[in-house]
Amino acid sequence: MTNREFLKSELLKALDIKLKDFGFQVNMKLGEFTRRNKDGWNKYQIVFLKTDEGWELKPSLLLRVDSVEDIFHKTSEFEEKYKKGTPTIGTSIEDYQSNGKTYRYQMREEPHINVIAQELYIIFKEIALPFFDKYDTLEKIDKALNIKPEDTSLTGAIFKGSKALIIAKLMCRRNFKELADYYYNYYKNFSEGFYLPNYIRLKEFLENASI
């Protein structure tokens, strides 16, 4: 085991001891902690970025609603092995807070492990858990995505229109057609229309589906 592998393994073990009391299970390979519920899952993800001497750690938040993702993959071109892993919304702690703090941690040697694990645990309690509570129903996610359709902060630019339109359909939104048209124009002008064909397939599926 290299020093870098040792650091990663011990950091995840230290954090696992703290998070398992909240129902989160560690995946050592992926560097993430998952709590499953009746609708999908919540994930507290630690992105490990290699540096010359160790790692830079970037904590992130992911939330999946199975009913949304099942519809999304009716027309997506994802390989089967990736379909169960797609989140409905997600963001890095850094982007979610937007307070000027980087929320990135440099781990180069063993004494850093417990210090960083404690910092990540504090973030988990003070930011991650409230995030999962804030978006614990489809109605709450719908409001976050479709009241301000131009805001891509919880989905990223590529998936905003697709995920938001699915949720609008599931919520029986009266302005579904308006939103469908808005996201059509969004994808038409985004990335030179590269993602527009995928969106059109999904839009047509939703317009004809009984959900």
pLDDT digits (tens, 9 = 90+) for 158-184: 999 999 999 999 999 999 999 999 999
CB-based contact 162:198 (threshold 8 Å): yes
Q: What pLDDT, in 10s, does the model give residues 22-34?
A: 999 999 999 999 9
d(CA 114, CA 43): 21
Contacts for 44 with CB less than 8 Å, ≥ 6 apart:
19, 24, 32, 33, 59, 60, 61, 124, 128
pLDDT for residue 210 is more than 90: no
Pairing of strands 40-50, 25-27: unpaired
pLDDT band at 65 (very low <50, low <70, confident <90, very high): very high
CA atoms within 13 A on the CB side of 181: 4
> pTM (2 decimals)?
0.95
